[in-house]
Structure 1
Amino acid sequence: MPGNSFGNLFRVTTFGESHGPAVGVIIDGVPAGLPLTTDDIKFELSFRRPGRSLVSGRREKDEPEILSGVFEGKTTGSPIAVVVRNSDVISSLYEEIKYKPRPGHADLPFIMRFGYENWDYRGGGRSSARETVGRVAAAAIAKKLLMISDTLVGGHLIALGPIKLEEKVDFNSILCSKYSLVRASTPNLEEKFKELIKQATIEGDSYGGIAEVVVNNPPIGIGEPVFDKIKADLAKAILSIPAVVGFEYGLGFKAAEMKGSETNDEIVNKEGRLGWKENKSGGILGGITNGEPIVFRCAFKPTSSIRKLQKTVDLRTGEETTISVIGRHDPAVAIRGVSVAEAMAALVLVDHSMRSGIIPLVKLSREQATGIQERWERYVKVCGHTAESR
């Protein structure tokens, strides 16, 4: 079965190529009665959109169109189709790539699997990060549904190249980092990230980075005990993102260097409820959410399309040659990747929330829909002052 779909009860199927007419997504399993507009989806898409300073210069408006599943501002319970037209395509920039697969890219593996004659080389075709538009569009719906349990998903960039976030930041700062051009959660880090990106652009090179995603007030007790653990499904979801090369949650790989007495988190009484003292497990134990904030990190490799000369092979002759990739590419794919990591987390959580009965499968009550809409409006406005200052 082709791997273009994700999820069980809340199932998304993305479609489209980087330089095709459009990209988009079909979402099946959304209960009826959820208030939904194109503005809701556009809000989330705006934070992964290219054409801004310090990211890809491709100027896409990313205007979503809802083709089905919504009537008079509410979901009907039928599949929702969302399409986003590609409006700024310059395929001529990829003519050299037609014969010279790019180092670090999926070009050659796609040729090996599907055949050279079937390979869409324009902008990477289906393997392009442009595909993630559909994921983020679907996640706008997922994020809204999660507000039935007052659950919020926020992400920020904690490392870019050699520069790392040194201090702890609160969840509101993480949430508001969406308005930072480089997804930094502190002004000091933002300036350092900007300088690094500018230098990489001058050199024709790129940098990798680490995104951290925090889920505040996650539903308690979701996740299956064996194969469908929350950690397992999150890992699959995050590692499916283009350019992601690593995933960890809680203490992550640091735990391998520690003693059990150091990694075990003490169980304490938190104002009348059981909880964990330091949340060392990142909100997940036994593959099940324990009520503490879910915290995970993912590593993005540097953008592979760079202007520096690299070795490759000319497919017409079989001879070794060189390539300098021109075009409009992110100097650090991790910046826009934060929004995609948030999106995949939301898709996993909403699917498990439906499997656990926290979100109704068929329809929302009027009270549930009203509560969700009120929380969504607060979420959209919560960082407005931050957006104006930046």
Structure 2
Amino acid sequence: MYSIGNKLKVSLFGKSHNECIGCIIEGLPRGMEIDFDNIREQMALRKPSMGIGTARKEDDVVIFEEGVVEGKVSSNSVLLKIMNRNTDSSSYSQFNTKPRPGHADLPALMKFKDFDVAGGAQFSGRMTAPLVAAGAIARQCLESYGIQIAAYTKQIHCVKDDGKHSFDKIQGSCMFRTRAIDDAFDRLMGDTIEDAAKEGDSVGGIVGCMVIGLPIGFGGIWFDALDVSIAKAMFSIPGAKGVEFGEGFGLAYMKGSQSNDQYCIKNGFVSASTNNMGGVCGGMSDGMPLTFNVAFKPTPSISKLQNTVNLDTMTDDVLEIRGRHDPCIVPRAVAVVEAMTALTILDQKMSFELDQ
């Protein structure tokens, strides 16, 4: 199993083409009521959308094996699983000797004895399904404290949304198949994904996320800092290649007089005139909305001919990938970003609340 978290610990198990995948959640408040309809809604947002996602369709019914009785958390550990019912490993055998560029095949084959690449194994995006279920539970807990999370598709390939959006506007992204902010961007981004798919290619993009309701001083420091912990969680999502908070890399082009979020009193509370830092200073919340972006690479499985090597003959070779793959993972990744954010924020609350 693979684990993340401190007081709220999530341990992931299974592989993409195993009988099932799942996770163990440790540390949820006993007696907490679980909204199963909400979990189903979040799982649906992770599913591929018509025309821009993989042809692999899974029911993704979340089964609670342990730790939930009559709709409430009954023990320190909650075990949930999701069955893999629509697997097809027939097209994967060649990748055991001819690793796919951009995938984990090569390092995994070298690191693990008898590694089987079927479905991407434990490195597959399929593994994020139980994380979305766990994240949905964490969000329900956070919302009882007035902490809310929303994410959206900020960019697909060259189609970029540079707008500064309100939390309510971001929440509305669930209405669109690409998780874009509005209908216009949804059409442009959808067309871009469909065009790449027709060419046998793929595209990447950026997910933007916002968290509201965090009090000033929320979070740990140094290696347990709020932004450090979120960055770790984001980089655990398959395909994630970059994370920035607030203006991020854009801060390198500013002077201190431009980048500093200068303080003011607004409605009787300390606030700031800008939010270039993304709501984090010293690794803790400064009371402004927590904002960050996550960059995702283009899906490495493409049908175009690619160069690789043959590990049996140790010669150069070519590779043609067939099967069911997403031309872009970004729209589906939005739900995963929200889930991993929720798990991290709840863990931070449980771990460092006494320090506040």
Q: TM-score range by the shorter chain?
A: over 0.9
Structure 2 gap ranges (5+): none
TM-score (structure 2 length as normaliser): 0.96
Contact 2:260 2:276 in 1 (8 A): yes
CA distance in 1, matches of 2:272, 2:95: 52
Contact (CA 8 Å) 2:67, 2:79: kept in 1 or not?
Answer: yes
Q: Contact conserved, 2:152 with 2:209, CA < 8 A, in 1?
A: yes
Measure how far apart 1:37 and its partner are. Answer: 4.6
Q: Unaligned regions of 5+ residues in structure 1, if any?
A: 359-390
- Are the aligned partners of 1:218 and 1:289 in contact in 2 as well (CA < 8 Å)? yes
Aligned-pair Cα RMSD in Å: 1.4
Indicate whether 1:104 and 2:102 are aligned.
Answer: yes
Q: Determine whether 1:92 maps to 2:90.
A: yes
Q: Corresponding residue for 1:75?
A: 73
| SS of residue in 2 equivalent to 1:54 | coil
* Counterpart in the other structure of 1:290: 286
1:196 aligns with 2:166: no
- Partner letter of residue 300 of structure 2? S
TM-score with structure 1 setting the length: 0.88
1:178: Cα distance to partner? 2.0
Cα distance in 1 between the residues matched to 2:75 and 2:279: 31
Quote the Cα distance in structure 1 between the aligned partners of 2:59 and 2:241: 29
> Quick one: structure 1 residues 38 and 53, their matched pair in 2 at CA, closer, same or farther if it must change by over 3 Å?
farther
Residue 63 of structure 2 aligns with an amino acid whose one-letter code is E
Per-residue Cα deviation, 1:246-278 (whole angstroms, up to 9, x for no partner): 110011001111100000111000100011111
The residue that corresponds to 2:348 in the other structure is 352
Which of the residues 328, 331, 342 maps onto 2:324? 328
Instruction: State the SS of the aligned residue for 1:299.
Output: strand
Q: Distance in 1 between matches of 2:8 and 2:160?
A: 35
| Separation in structure 2 between the aligned mates of residue 179 and residue 327 of structure 1, nearest angstrom | 29
Match status 1:66 vs 2:64: yes
Q: Which residue of 2 aligns with 1:55?
A: 53
* Equivalent-residue separation in structure 2 for 1:129 and 1:172 (angstroms): 28
The equivalent residue for 1:17 is 15
Counterpart in the other structure of 1:366:
none
Give aligned-pair identity as a percent.
38
Q: Deviations over 1:218-251 (max 9, x none)?
A: 2432222322110111111111111111110011
Is 1:146–1:152's contact at 8 Å kept on the other side of the alignment? yes
Residue 270 in structure 1 maps to residue 266 in structure 2 = yes
* Alignment check: 8 A CA contact 2:220 2:226 kept: yes
2:177 to 175, 181, 192: 181
The residue identity in structure 2 corresponding to 1:273 is: F
TM-superposition CA deviations, 1:294-342 (whole Å, max 9, x none): 0000110000000010001122212211111111111111121111111
List aligned pairs for 1:109-128, cutoff 5 A: 109-115=107-113, 118-128=114-124
Q: Which residue of 2 aligns with 1:384?
A: none
Task: Give, as a single letter, the amino acid of the residue that structure 2 aligns with 1:145.
Answer: C
Contact kept, 8 Å, 1:151 with 1:219, in 2: the verdict is no
Say whether the 8 Å CA contact 1:50–1:60 is kept in structure 2: no
| CA distance in 1: counterparts of 2:85 and 2:58, whole angstroms | 6
**In 2: Cα distance, 1:271 partner to 1:61 partner:** 48
Task: Tell me how many residue pairs correspond in the alignment.
Answer: 354
Q: What residue is the counterpart of 1:311 in the other structure?
A: 307
Deviation by residue 1:151-172 (Cα, 9 ceiling, x = unmatched): 1111011111011013333222
